[in-house]
Homo-oligomer: A and B are copies of this chain.
Amino acid sequence: MKKIGYLCVFVMLGLAHCEENYKKDIGSGPLVIRYPENNEKMCIDEEVQLKCTSWRFGVEANNLGPWKTIPEECDDYVEDYMLGKGYKLDLEMVSKEAGAFAASHELVNDGKDIWVFDVDETLLSNLPYYSEHGFGLELFDHIEFDKWVEKGIAPAIQASLELYQEVANLGYKIFLLTGRSIRHKGVTIENLVRSGFHDWEKLIMRNPEDHAKLATIFKSEKRNEMEKGGFRIVGNSGDQWSDLLGSSMSIRSFKLPNPMYYIP
């Protein structure tokens, strides 16, 4: 082990930081790409690489307790993952699996088969914001993030856009269930439409009385209402476990990758 020492991550995993790939990764938004100033910055100790991969596995398997920022030692790791091929591949994988399930499931076709999508880091990418805020290394700043949301320029996550269109074409009604406040309703609709999302059945956002609720509770309540309305929740796509777990769960849930932040 000692003999190997430091290895560059972009060499190890072949993460290509080329602008062309990157633009394709996160849609057509006005993303500001931060390149490392020199290659040395991108070099990650192999032990750190292993530990951060383990941490990311803990995140995605829902093994970790609530966390507020990414581990300090994983800052380069998360940046590399988000800007490299790993994130893109993971998004494509989950979208492909969801699409295969959606197609294999037998719809009743009475307009009551539904697919639930979360919005942030599921349909829309806030990577342009997070790339300017340490990829999860900085403590979440509501005020700054709200300013970003109000710009309405979050790009589509390409793989999710394809899934969205696929399930719509299959005949599922689409419900958007987001933790965003109803205050951002106008700009959220504009942003979604501008990014290629159309014809959803309902956009559900937090009302003032929902703000104190944990996302798991808020989203479970809303899914409950869907079921009471006679809808059958076949699929649910979200980047947070709080999008997926709780009551009135979907038949199959699809966890999109997100090593940048955690919402309980």
Contact = CB atoms under 8 A, between A and B. Distances in A.
A106 B90 CA distance: 37
Contact of A4 (B14, B58, B60): B14
A29 to B, nearest CB: 23
A166 interface: no
Nearest to A11: B4
A151 to B, nearest CB: 30
Contact of A7 (B12, B51, B55, B97): B12
A46 B4 contact: no
Interface residues of A, number: 41
Interface in A42-61: 46-47, 49-51, 53-58, 60-61
Interface in A1-30: 1, 4, 7, 11-14, 16
A35 interface: no
Contacts of A1: 14, 16
Copies of this protein, total: 2
24 contacts: A1-B16, A7-B11, A12-B12, A50-B86, A50-B89, A53-B86, A54-B86, A54-B93, A57-B57, A57-B60, A57-B90, A58-B93, A60-B61, A61-B94, A61-B255, A61-B257, A63-B93, A63-B94, A63-B97, A63-B98, A63-B255, A64-B97, A65-B97, A65-B100
Interface of A: 1, 4, 7, 11-14, 16, 46-47, 49-51, 53-58, 60-65, 85-86, 89-90, 92-94, 97-98, 100-101, 252-255, 257
